Amino acid sequence: MRKLSVFNNTSLDGFFTDANNDMSWARAMDPEWHAFSEGNAGAMGDLLFGRITYELMARFWPTPMAKESNPVTAERMNRSLKIVFSKTMDQPSWSNTKVIGGDIAAAVREMKQRPGGDMMILGSGTIVSQLTEAGLIDEYQIAVIPVVLGKGRTLFEGVTRKVRLKLTNSRTFANGNVFVRYEALR
């Protein structure tokens, strides 16, 4: 069975976007964090997005600026199969993209049964909360960024059930970021 993981950034106070849906506070790069992020991109597999995150990513990763500033990640992002969950999108703008409308949990259950590599959700808080509620996420990779936002959206907004997790990895970076990886316990 294919594994479904999440990679997301959160503020110290637990928000993945600020009150204006901005995530630029999480983009601080230094050589150590950049190398880690680039290495982590190699394990992405198929990428799953909600429409909003997809549109943000599609505006950047296919550009010459992305290819110049981060060639390894840009190549992987552009080459990967991208699944966007949307009831309003007709024609995706980014190559190698498939749009799925309808029941997200049912679609992911079916995708997990198919042969192939693992899958990764980037950003896409609404998708993360829906799939967490449905018990379909196997691993959570969270980078805690040393900033307090005060207000914003939590990654698990709308989750009503208790989800038990087991810490499988952690790493502290010189820039203050703390990476944690949790496995969902069934």
Q: In what helix (H) or strand (E) does residue 39 lie, and over which residues does it extend?
A: helix 31-41
For 11-21, the pLDDT digits (tens) are 999 999 999 98
For 34-87, the pLDDT digits (tens) are 788 877 765 668 999 999 999 989 999 999 999 998 888 889 899 999 999 999
Partners of residue 5 on adjacent β-strands: 120, 139
**Interior angle at CA 43, CA 22 and CA 32, nearest 5:** 65
CB 152 within 8 A of CB 15: yes
Distance of CA 124 to the CA centre of its chain: 6
Does the pTM surpass 0.95? The reply is no
Residue 148 belongs to a domain with what CATH number? 3.40.430.10
Share of the chain above pLDDT 90, in %: 75
Q: Whole domain around residue 151: which residue ranges?
A: 4-184
The residue type at 74: A
Q: What count of other Cβ atoms lies within 10 Å of the Cβ of residue 174?
A: 9
CB 121 within 8 A of CB 82: no
**Total count of domains within the chain:** 1
